[in-house]
Amino acid sequence: MTRTLGPDAPTSPPATRPDRAAGLTFRNKLSHLDVKYSPYLYVAPFFVLFALVGLFPLVYTFVVSLNNWNLLSGPGEWVGFGNFVKEFNDELFWNSLFNTMSIFLLSSIPQLIAATFIAAVLDQNLRARTFWRMSVLIPYVVTPVAVALIFSNMFSQEGGLVNHLLTLIGMDPIAWKLDTLPSHLAIAGMVNWRWTGYNALILLAAMQAVPRDLYESAELDGAGSTRRFFSITLPSIRPTMIFVILTATIGGLQIFTEPRLYDAASVTAGGAHRQFQTTVLYLWEMAFQRQNFGRAAAIAWILFVIIVLFGVVNFLISRRIASSESRVISKRAKRKLDRQTTDMR
Amino acid sequence: MTTTSAPTRKRKTMGMNRRPGFLTYGILIALLIGGAYPLWWSYVVGASPTSVLSQDWPPLLPGGQFWKNVAQVFDTIPFWQALLNSVIVSGVITFSVVTFSTLAGFAFAKLRFRGSNALMVFVVATMAIPTQLGIIPLFILMRQFGWTGTVGAIIIPTLVTAFGVFFMRQYLVDVIPDELIDAARVDGASTIGTFWHVGVPAARPAMAILALFTFMMAWTDFLWPMIVSPQNPTLQVALSQLQSARYVDFSVVLAGAVLATLPLLVLFVVAGKQLISGIMAGAVKG
């Protein structure tokens, strides 16, 4: 490994060159400065850039939200929390929040269950392991825009593949674009199609970290594969599941591309009756079509607070679970130990 | 993230060593079909006249006019310009994120300085912040500077990510032994020399994974490029314009979707294994 230090690293001890003592103290001083202060230079680019393009815009969003601010004419008069009040009294805002939550739940819950199931299927002694892992990841390389175009066509009401198949098996076609629940299902379907395999691989990694001896001893004790899955696998991967849920939440509450491109024929963004207009889509419409930057900024801040709250609650719950779990496990282990010692007697 | 440290695979004689049965492979084949079929279907329709959609049976095999439809894609959107823009945007963002993340990650993992813990807590906390919601002031600023419609405006907001710093720090903290840093210092190496000769070689695998995911994130991004530069679009924005253009057939839109997926499919074939190990090593969305 010293090879990597390069040939220019001095190797001879300084004591052999007493004539350069004065230079050395200067160099020592330099090196002291280097050790003490240069770490800041390494982290500075990140913090400076992040402050400029990440934090400052968020703070400035708040400033914009306190003003009447038009896209074209710029800042108007100060209105305090007027924009927030308007949003809380606007039916369209609540509609967008409802749509966001509905699509989020329809995509995250089935996705988590399916991903866990797929991970368990992959967590076996498979032939051609890499091939199967890659195959569940295919949808991930299709970009959200392409996914939206493809699914928008597949769920189209006239001549779409899904309705075509439904009529072939004798069912009535469904108004996938016009009705609220079907459109939410289709949009959630896009998210699920693209992300389930990806999350399955994350969960698979967690499953593989479970010590195999645990399974073996459980099998010796007569636990079937279902029992082993629920009693060993699921509890062991819970931290990873919480992590997956958290990232799915942050992404899911900001869903935009899929509903934006789901129905090209609709003049209103998010469906003719805004039946699948999510909050970010509503924000975009407010800013760039209704040109009201002040209210759009207020929407951004409300959504920001909601996402952070979700994150905090998630964090607290997961910590709760983790601590109570370790207590349960230690209790169980103690009981088992007691039993074993009594058995031995 | 913490649970995925190198799985020690002990597969002995029992249980898990059994080869799974037909049911497992049946499920896997069904998943493969479910994952690939929408793409195949896009190609089938994208290579046919739109009239196939009104047949009694959905088409199963592609027609012969994929290139004819592709030609119409080229007529409708500035495909090559958009492709070039996407390559520039994703390339610059990837270079910037990987460089600054490695620098900061190295400092957080291996250098001692006052306030490093507090700063790291700050990085972790900001990972959950949806910076995407800052689009309104960003747009105001870009327009003030007259930068709308340029690739620079698309790039700037994603020059650094908190996740990148966190990811590099987590990797380097385990990979480089502290003794190595101390030894380099005793040998008289400067901090930058230590970074260059010890940090970067050790960080290379993680840099590759971070590069792959950052590239994917930049390539697939849609909201911000659509807002700030619709007139000089990235590939994703151009593709969305294909859909909203008038008098464009379904089959042309799907031909465009297939065409735009090809670069990532190539990436997937070349770097699929790295992608998988990256995901499994705890590289996350974004």
Average pLDDT over residues A243-255: 88
Question: Within an 8 Å CB–CB cutoff, is residue B190 touching chain A?
Answer: yes
Q: What angle do CA A288, A50, B145 make, to 5 degrees?
A: 45
Q: Based on the domain organization, do A209 and A327 belong to the same domain? A: yes
Average pLDDT over residues A307-329: 76
Question: Within an 8 Å CB–CB cutoff, is residue A239 touching chain B?
Answer: yes
Average pLDDT over residues A217-241: 88
Lowest mean pLDDT among A12-21, A165-174, B25-34, B119-128: A12-21
Contacting residues of B for A6, CB less than 8 Å apart: 193, 197
Q: Which domain-ending residue is among A65, A95, A125?
A: A65
Is there a contact between A50 and B126 if contact means CB atoms under 8 Å apart? yes
Query: Among residues of chain A, what percentage have pLDDT more than 70?
Result: 86
Distance separating alpha carbons of residues B43 and A18, to the nearest angstrom: 77
**What mean pLDDT is reported for chain A?**
85
Distance separating alpha carbons of residues A280 and B50, to the nearest angstrom: 33
Question: B118, B163, B123, B158: which is closest to B138 by C-alpha?
Answer: B158
Lowest mean pLDDT among A217-231, A273-287, A296-310: A217-231
Predicted confidence at residue A1, as pLDDT, reads 36
Is there a contact between A39 and B112 if contact means CB atoms under 8 Å apart? yes
Q: Based on the domain organization, do A50 and A155 belong to the same domain? A: no
Q: Specify the amino acid at residue A24.
A: L
Inform me whether the pLDDT recorded for B227 exceeds 90.
yes
Average pLDDT over residues A92-114: 95
Question: Within an 8 Å CB–CB cutoff, is residue B265 touching chain A?
Answer: yes
Predicted confidence at residue B2, as pLDDT, reads 42
Our CA-based measurement puts residue A180 at a distance from the nearest CA of chain B, in whole angstroms, of 22
Q: Which of residues 107-136 of A touch B (CB under 8 A)?
A: 118, 121-122, 124-127, 130, 132-136
Predicted confidence at residue A241, as pLDDT, reads 87
Predicted confidence at residue A342, as pLDDT, reads 57
Inform me whether the pLDDT recorded for B114 exceeds 70.
yes
Which has the higher per-residue pLDDT, B6 or B30?
B30
Distance separating alpha carbons of residues B5 and B184, to the nearest angstrom: 28
Q: Based on the domain organization, do A129 and A265 belong to the same domain? A: yes
- Per mean pLDDT, which of A6-20, B4-18, B189-203, B245-259 is the most reliable? B189-203
CA dihedral B270, B272, B273, B276 (to 10 degrees): 160
Q: Specify the amino acid at residue A125.
A: N
Is there a contact between A126 and B220 if contact means CB atoms under 8 Å apart? no
**pLDDT tens string A140-176:** 999 999 999 999 989 988 778 899 889 888 888 899 9
Structure tokens, A40: 């800041």
Q: Based on the domain organization, do A139 and A240 belong to the same domain? A: yes
Task: Evaluate whether residue A9 is within a structural domain.
Answer: no
Answer yes or no: are the C-beta atoms of A197 and A139 closer than 8 Å.
yes
Inform me whether the pLDDT recorded for A21 exceeds 60.
no
Our CA-based measurement puts residue B15 at a distance from the nearest CA of chain A, in whole angstroms, of 6
Q: Give CATH for domain B72-280.
A: 1.10.3720.10
SS3 (DSSP) at B283: coil
Distance separating alpha carbons of residues B79 and B77, to the nearest angstrom: 5
**pLDDT tens string A277-298:** 999 999 999 999 999 999 999 9
**pLDDT tens string A188-213:** 999 999 999 999 999 999 998 888 88
Distance separating alpha carbons of residues B279 and B260, to the nearest angstrom: 23
Question: Within an 8 Å CB–CB cutoff, is residue B282 touching chain A?
Answer: yes
Contacting residues of B for A57, CB less than 8 Å apart: 131, 134-138, 157
Classify residue A266 by burial, with Cβ atoms within 10 Å: 0-12, 13-18, 19+.
middle
Is there a contact between B28 and A135 if contact means CB atoms under 8 Å apart? yes
Tell me how far the alpha carbon of residue A239 is from its chain's centroid.
Answer: 15
Is there a contact between A135 and B36 if contact means CB atoms under 8 Å apart? yes
Distance separating alpha carbons of residues B78 and B73, to the nearest angstrom: 9
Lowest mean pLDDT among A210-219, B3-12, B139-148, B192-201: B3-12
DSSP B176: S
Average pLDDT over residues B119-145: 88
Tell me how far the alpha carbon of residue B88 is from its chain's centroid.
Answer: 14
> How many residue contacts between A and B have a Cβ separation below 8 Å?
329
Contacting residues of A for B220, CB less than 8 Å apart: 143-145
The number of folded domains in chain A is 2
H or E, element range at A78: strand A74-78
**pLDDT tens string B233-277:** 999 999 999 988 766 788 899 999 999 899 889 989 998 888 888
Question: B52, B212, B14, B33: which is closest to A223 by C-alpha?
Answer: B14
Task: Evaluate whether residue A73 is within a structural domain.
Answer: no
Q: Based on the domain organization, do A193 and A57 belong to the same domain? A: no
Q: Based on the domain organization, do A179 and A53 belong to the same domain? A: no
In 10 A of CB B90, how many CB atoms?
A: 24
In Å, how far are A199, A232, B1, B68, B171 from A195, measured between CA atoms? Answer: 6, 25, 18, 32, 25
Our CA-based measurement puts residue B63 at a distance from the nearest CA of chain A, in whole angstroms, of 17
Structure tokens, B103: 């620098």
Predicted confidence at residue A113, as pLDDT, reads 95
Give the confidence band of A110 by pLDDT, cuts at 50, 70, 90. very high
Q: Based on the domain organization, do A21 and A150 belong to the same domain? A: no
Distance separating alpha carbons of residues B129 and A307, to the nearest angstrom: 8
Closest chain B residue by Cα to residue A31: B190
Kindly give, in sequence order, each residue whose CB lies less than 8 Å from that of residue A91, ignoring residues fewer than 6 positions away.
none
Task: Evaluate whether residue A147 is within a structural domain.
Answer: yes
Average pLDDT over residues A174-192: 94
Question: B22, B53, B20, B17: which is closest to B250 by C-alpha?
Answer: B53
DSSP B53: G
Distance separating alpha carbons of residues A239 and B184, to the nearest angstrom: 38
Kindly give, in sequence order, each residue whose CB lies less than 8 Å from that of residue A163, ignoring residues fewer than 6 positions away.
A155, A156, A157, A173, A174, A176
Structure tokens, A83: 């924009």
Answer yes or no: are the C-beta atoms of A256 and B135 closer than 8 Å.
no
Inform me whether the pLDDT recorded for B104 exceeds 80.
yes
Q: Which of residues 245-264 of A touch B (CB under 8 A)?
A: 246-247, 250-251, 253-254, 256-257, 260-261, 264
How many helices (H) and strands (E) would you count in chain A? 15, 2
Phi, psi dihedral angles at A40 (to 5 degrees) = -65, -35
Task: Evaluate whether residue A159 is within a structural domain.
Answer: yes
Average pLDDT over residues A101-118: 95
Nearest to B35 among A38, A125, A135 (CB): A135
Question: Within an 8 Å CB–CB cutoff, is residue B232 touching chain A?
Answer: no
In Å, how far are A108, A156, A304, B1, B166 from A301, measured between CA atoms? Answer: 23, 35, 5, 29, 25
Task: Evaluate whether residue A89 is within a structural domain.
Answer: yes
Give the confidence band of A4 by pLDDT, cuts at 50, 70, 90. very low
Inform me whether the pLDDT recorded for A17 exceeds 50.
no
Q: Based on the domain organization, do A206 and A170 belong to the same domain? A: yes
Q: Based on the domain organization, do A197 and A303 belong to the same domain? A: yes
Q: Based on the domain organization, do A316 and A217 belong to the same domain? A: yes
**pLDDT tens string A322-339:** 666 666 666 666 666 666
Predicted confidence at residue B255, as pLDDT, reads 93
SS3 (DSSP) at A77: strand
Q: Based on the domain organization, do A93 and A220 belong to the same domain? A: yes
Q: Which of residues 165-184 of B touch A (CB under 8 A)?
A: 165, 180, 183-184
Closest chain B residue by Cα to residue A292: B136
**What mean pLDDT is reported for chain B?**
87
Instruction: Please name the residue ranges forming H helices in B151-199.
Output: 151-155, 162-175, 178-186, 191-194
Distance separating alpha carbons of residues B179 and B182, to the nearest angstrom: 5
Answer yes or no: are the C-beta atoms of A324 and A271 closer than 8 Å.
no
Average pLDDT over residues B172-178: 89
Give the confidence band of B16 by pLDDT, cuts at 50, 70, 90. low
Domain hosting residue A47, numbered range: 16-65
Structure tokens, A27: 């160099």
Q: CATH number, domain at A226?
A: 1.10.3720.10
Q: Based on the domain organization, do A145 and A272 belong to the same domain? A: yes
Is there a contact between B187 and A239 if contact means CB atoms under 8 Å apart? no
What ipTM score was computed for the predicted complex, to two decimals?
A: 0.88
Report DSSP letters for A41-74, one per residue.
HHHHHHHHHHIIIIIHHHHHHHHHHTEEEETTTE
pTM: 0.85
